[in-house]
A and B are shown apart, each in its own frame.
Chain A
Amino acid sequence: MSIVPEPLTQFPWRVLGILLAIAGFGTLVLYSAAGGSITPWAINQGVRFVLFSGMALVLSRIPLELFARFAFPAYGVVLVSLFLVELIGGVAGGSQRWINLGFMQLQPSEFMKPIIVLAVARFYALLPVGEIRRWNAIWPALVLIGIPAALVLVQPDLGTAMMIVAGGVTVMFLAGLPLRLFVGSGLAFAAIVPIAFSFLHDYQQKRVLIFLDPESDPLGAGYHISQSKIAIGSGGIFGKGFLKGTQSHLDYLPEGHTDFVFATMAEEWGLLGGVMLIGAFMLLFRWGIGVSLRAQDKYARMVAAGLTTTIFFYVAINLMMVMGLAPVVGIPLPFMSYGGSSMLTVMLCIGIIMAIDRSGRRSGRRGNWA
């Protein structure tokens, strides 16, 4: 036994260290994006990080059974609020994604990202083992994913809908559904894309083409991607130096503190900063996958891997977007982009994974002593 007291060894130092590194770096970048000022972004972001870290630590103390039991009810509540948003949005006219609760604006689609993982995982945990290769194992999950995804898609919020589908499908994959289903639908999807493209309206096709070649319309729809690539490209290996980015400080880079914060960072810190940041995220994902592999419980391991993948989708889609590998869909970069909703969601995921980690260690220790 170690001389260090048990609560301290149990405390998730490693993951908190990684999070602190990423969020600290993010705060620094926001400080620069504001022209060397802690207001209005850096200070808020720092305070939020502390608050949400506390929340995640509290979550990590909650027994795993509770997450399992409340998975479906929570799913139901979020689904109802998605309907409500749709109704209110319809009344107000135009696209609406949030419900105004007075003290804060609630964006239900944001919560759907982790909850879809909990719900689908719960479904497969309850499914008898022998049923996994039957049709019954597929359609309920597809319904679970399809309804919220469709609701979010009509808001319209393509990015979030994509993430909901991706999170749910990842859990289906982990649950052990036959591989050929995924390969087959992947191929079918690839075949459908060109056909679907020809059915799109002219302006929609144009948008896709601009994504493929943003320089063809540098002042219009391609502006964001062009300027983002210029910021990243002009940073070089070591960057232009802290507070010396011109793209961000002279306002050429749009959304330099939110969706395109990575470009702001890359301009000043260069490839070096980018590799460090991506490396830190990779460590976080390795921890998450590690937790899922260690977990004994079927539900727990699916949730841990699924939530890790959800965070991964945030990072991957955002980075692909800023580097011109994906269209501009409005997915923020966790802990870096300014904004409360995304940090709350990601911290929820982290808190739940930490809870799984904790219960995994406990049961493992118990097992050793038994």
Chain B
Amino acid sequence: MKLPFSKKKTVTEASLSFTFTRRAMVVGGLQAGIGALLVSRMAWISVAENEKYNLLSESNRVNLTLIPPRRGWILDRNGRPLANNRTDFRVDLIPERMTDAEGTIRSLAQLLALSPDEVDRIKDELVKSAGFRPVQVAEKLSYDQYAAVSVRLPDLPGVAPSQGFSRNYPAGATVGHLLGFVGAASAKEYVERKDPLLITPGFKVGKDGLEKSFDRDLTGKPGAKRVEVTARGKIVQELTTRPDTPGNPIKLTIDAGLQEYAGRRLATQSGSVVVIDCHNGDVLAMASMPSFDPNSFSDGISHVEWDMLSKDDHVPLRNKTLQGLYPPGSTVKPMVALALLEAGISPMDTVSCTGALRVGNTLFHCHKRRGHGSVNMRTGIAQSCDIYFYQMAQRIGMDRIASMARRVGMGQKFALPFPSQSFGTVPDPAWKLKKYDQKWQVYDTVNATIGQGYMLINPLQMAVMASRLATGRQLMPNFIYGAHREAPAPVGVKEEHLVTIRDAMSAVVNGGGTGGAARINIPGVMMAGKTGTAQVRRITMAERGGGVRSNASLPFKLRDHALFQGFAPFDNPRYAIACIIEHGGHTNRIEDAPMIAADTMTFLFDQAKAMEKLETLEKDWGGPPAERMARQMAAWRLAKAIEKGEAPPEAANAANAANAVEGSNAAAPAPAAATDADDVPPPPGSDPAAAR
């Protein structure tokens, strides 16, 4: 068979030999050509791209480990640390480097004696983790524990022990809401900023409060450690180390002692205390209790602890000072009185209080059923007579009252370094029309004059109001020590009017008024103030007929809020204070707003005396907040264990007994409880009103 394309060409031995020679030359030439190609390819890689590959080789060889910078301290006005750093040994997990997550966690749990809670938290976080973000296993380890993990590293891929610093808050829970806390950066934050520091084990960012607002200032410059490593991560030698630059310290206007005192003095109540310096508006204390312990938050909070905090009806996770909004109740009466004076009403003008007043077709009650009789402005404030204000407010109209309310800081927004704030409202006819498309009614004015209805305030705004009533200047709250500020604008009222108001507010406390519990026992220092009660439920006509239920008999969530605002000394104000007790209901005189405010104020004039009283009282409350929280935590843990069937119920009873100190105390009857305050039928479309 012939190939189809072959031509008649004589193939001889000689021609074949010639073909071979030619083709062997071609093969040789091709080989030389490919050799040249290989040389030029190699030259391209090693000469033209040398720089690129050198860099890659170096980044292979050298492992750059960032050293998290120490966080700047947060100091109080006297230089005492509110937040500092503590040396510690810690262990993290890098999820993407782990091969056997279950086994690794098991060995770690054994080596570090981790509790089941902690193990659950670690597993939780591992599931949520983005892979490259470290998950904290434990910190505050002893050197022995650290060493035990370190020597087993070859068997535990993905485990990263390190020595570093962790955030420490000496005052614990009492600064929780003020300072916030720190924590490992979230995957979202890393995606946004792409800063490798964020995924360095041990590095924390501010997560809430001032820690979050001043995060950039507090974060220093990271140090770096260059080590030569093999492909398997074994360290061959350390090359260079650059130390970190700590972050800048921040000095606050807060007085650490006062802050802690206020937090402790809030006792077992859910409440808030704010103290403002009347000279310049500096905030000396801003406590919101109960709170979380920022130390345990910054360590990575356990699932159970979080669960407990989020289910507590005293809302420890909410900063009540800045996020809590309350009807101000009768605490607005001095402000309303100032508006009356400005409108030309004489302080000596009297109103006859018979216990109730008909406005339109609604009957408004005074908190004193029998009535106050003939009431002038001083008595109206001191006795908190509702009828006086109902009548007088109708004479001048809501717009003038709203103008005064705004000038003393109600409804005003302050540019404060906190990530989340809620501000109260000052309603007036224009506001209501815009918001509800409804005309302002007379009963709206009546409600507003006793701080109910649409009117809302947060505790900080209330402290600002107290300071402005005290000084007649529009002081602005401030948290940064020595911050430069414009001189405050005047409130725009006559000094003699202010004197009248201060005198009346002093009468509330010292002149047989409703705030007798706020009297302070310091020679030459008299407290002035105004009490308030904010009702949170409607009182039906039927209930009123059968007698209004006492607060003590109501469930916690339905009890009235108790409020107090004031300043001292009354004739030459130095400090202004505001205190709100959520659902306090005036059931416990010692843990009520006036006395808490008075004791906190006492601390500013005589620390020893205030502390002595607090320490005596704390014995009845079950110790300082940290102790009580630990006990609450233990009881909660046990309850959870019983739910899961892990512990016998008898053990729980024992724990409850241990916890009973707290419980019995909360139920203790108020010694000199006030007359029950709420005697006003709720007008349609608005919250029920009450005053005291």
Contact = CB atoms under 8 A, between A and B. Distances in A.
B1 A135 contact: yes
Interface string B376-415: 0000000000000000000000000000000000000000
A266 B42 contact: yes
A236 B23 contact: no
Given A135-B2, A250-B61, A274-B46, A234 B56 contact: yes
A80 interface: no
A68 interface: no
B29 to A, nearest CB: 9
A250 B52 contact: no
A223 B60 CA distance: 12
Listed residue (B6, B20, B47, B49) with the most chain A CB atoms within 10 angstroms of its CB = B20
A281 B35 contact: yes
B230 A250 contact: yes
Interface string B6-28: 10010111001101110111011
A246 interface: yes
Contact of A234 (B3, B5, B50): B50
A324 B57 CA distance: 17
Contact of B39 (A175, A237, A274, A325): A274
Interface string A102-145: 00000000000000000000000000011011111010000000
Closest 5 CB pairs of A and B: A233-B53, A234-B57, A289-B28, A251-B231, A133-B6
A293 B34 CA distance: 20
A281 B49 CA distance: 25
B43 interface: yes
Interface of B: 1-3, 5-6, 9, 11-13, 16-17, 19-21, 23-25, 27-28, 31-32, 34-35, 38-39, 41-43, 45-47, 49-50, 52-54, 56-58, 60-61, 228-232, 236
Question: Which of B28, B41, B231, B232 has its CB near the most chain A CB atoms (within 10 A)?
Answer: B28
B283 to A, nearest CB: 53
B12 A129 contact: yes
Contacts of B38: 278, 316, 319-320, 323
Contacts of A20: none
A232 B58 CA distance: 13
Which label, helix, strand, loop or mixed, suits the secondary structure of the B interface?
Answer: helix
B46 A237 contact: yes
Nearest to A288: B28
Contact of A133 (B9, B32, B35, B47): B9
B39 A229 contact: no
Given A319-B38, A323-B38, A176 B53 contact: no
Given A133-B9, A305-B24, A246 B60 contact: yes
A316 B1 CA distance: 38
Contacts of B3: 133-135, 138, 178
Contact of B42 (A234, A250, A271): A271
A197 to B, nearest CB: 24
Contacts of A266: 42, 46
Contact of B13 (A129, A138, A230, A281): A129
21 contacts: A176-B19, A230-B56, A230-B60, A231-B57, A233-B50, A236-B46, A237-B50, A247-B60, A250-B228, A270-B46, A278-B38, A278-B39, A285-B31, A289-B24, A289-B25, A289-B27, A301-B20, A302-B20, A305-B24, A305-B27, A323-B45
Contacts of B12: 129
Nearest to B4: A135
Interface string A155-166: 000000000000
Contacts of A301: 20, 24
Contact of A251 (B6, B11, B232): B232
A293 B21 contact: yes
A252 B16 CA distance: 52
A176 B23 contact: yes
B220 to A, nearest CB: 32
Nearest to A305: B24
Contacts of B5: 178, 180
A129 B11 contact: yes
Nearest to A182: B23
Nearest to A238: B46
Contact of A233 (B13, B17, B34, B45): B45
B35 A247 contact: no
A272 to B, nearest CB: 10
B54 A233 contact: yes
Nearest to A270: B46
Contacts of B52: 233
A74 interface: no
Interface in A196-251: 227, 229-237, 246-247, 250-251
Given A233-B49, A233-B52, A275 B39 contact: yes
Contacts of B6: 133-134, 178
Given A174-B24, A302-B20, A271 B47 contact: yes
Contacts of A319: 38
Nearest to B61: A246
Nearest to B59: A230
Contact of A282 (B31, B41, B229): B31
A235 B12 CA distance: 54
A274 B42 contact: yes
A312 B20 contact: no
Given A233-B53, A289-B27, A316-B38, 19 more contacts: A132-B11, A133-B9, A135-B2, A176-B16, A178-B6, A229-B53, A230-B56, A233-B54, A234-B50, A234-B53, A236-B54, A282-B35, A289-B31, A293-B21, A293-B24, A298-B16, A305-B27, A309-B27, A323-B41
Contacts of A70: none
A130 B50 CA distance: 56
A292 interface: yes
A134 B60 CA distance: 59
A180 B9 CA distance: 15
Interface string A55-81: 000000000000000000000000000
A252 B60 contact: yes
A63 to B, nearest CB: 22
A11 interface: no
A323 to B, nearest CB: 5
A277 to B, nearest CB: 10
A271 B43 contact: yes
Nearest to B49: A233
B150 to A, nearest CB: 22
